Amino acid sequence: MDAKEMESLLHWAIEHSDPDKLREQAEVARRDEAVKDFVERKKRVQELSDIVSQQPSEAQLMMDNIAVLTDAGSSAADKGQALGNLQVLVEPIDNANDLKVLGGLPPLVDLLQQQQQPELQEGAAYVLGTAASNNAKLVEALLQQHPGAMQQLLQIAASKHEGAANKAMYALGSIVRSPVALARSQFYAQAGLGQLQALLGQAAGAPLRVKAKAINLIADLIEMTANGDDESLETWDEKVMSQFAAAALDMLGQAEELDGKEKALAAMRLLLLRRGAAGRAALEDEGAEAVLREALTELDLLVDGLGGYGDGEGGEGQAGGQQQQQQQQQEEGEEQEASDKDRRMYATYVAHLCADVLHHLSIQHAEL
The CA distance from 53 to 89, in Å, is: 19
The CA distance from 57 to 54, in Å, is: 9
User: For position 32, what pLDDT does the model report?
Assistant: 67
Q: Please name the residue ranges forming H helices in 102-180.
A: 105-112, 118-132, 136-145, 149-157, 162-176
Assign domain 55-234 one CATH number from 3.40.800.10, 1.25.10.10, 3.40.50.150, 3.40.50.2000: 1.25.10.10
- Express each pLDDT in 132-164 by its tens digit: 999 999 999 999 999 999 999 999 999 989 999
- Express each pLDDT in 213-234 by its tens digit: 888 898 888 888 888 877 777 8
CB burial class (10 A; 0-12, 13-18, 19+) of residue 335? exposed
User: For position 319, what pLDDT does the model report?
Assistant: 38
Closest CA to 172 of 204, 142, 205, 206: 142
The CA distance from 196 to 172, in Å, is: 11
Write down the domain spans for the chain: 55-234, 236-311+338-368
Count the helix, strand and coil residues of the chain and give each as a percent rounded to the nearest 5.
80, 0, 20
- Express each pLDDT in 56-67 by its tens digit: 788 899 999 999
User: For position 34, what pLDDT does the model report?
Assistant: 67
The CA distance from 127 to 299, in Å, is: 44
Q: Tens of pLDDT along the chain (368 residues)?
A: 566 666 665 555 555 565 666 566 667 667 767 667 766 776 666 655 554 445 578 889 999 999 999 999 999 999 999 999 999 999 999 999 999 999 999 999 999 999 999 999 999 999 999 999 999 999 999 999 999 999 999 999 999 899 999 999 999 999 999 999 999 999 998 989 888 888 877 655 678 888 888 888 988 888 888 888 777 778 888 888 888 888 889 889 888 889 889 988 988 998 898 888 899 999 999 999 999 999 999 999 999 888 887 654 333 333 344 455 555 555 555 556 667 778 889 999 999 999 999 998 887 555 54
pTM score, two decimals?
0.68
Q: Are 186 and 195 in contact (CB under 8 A)?
A: no
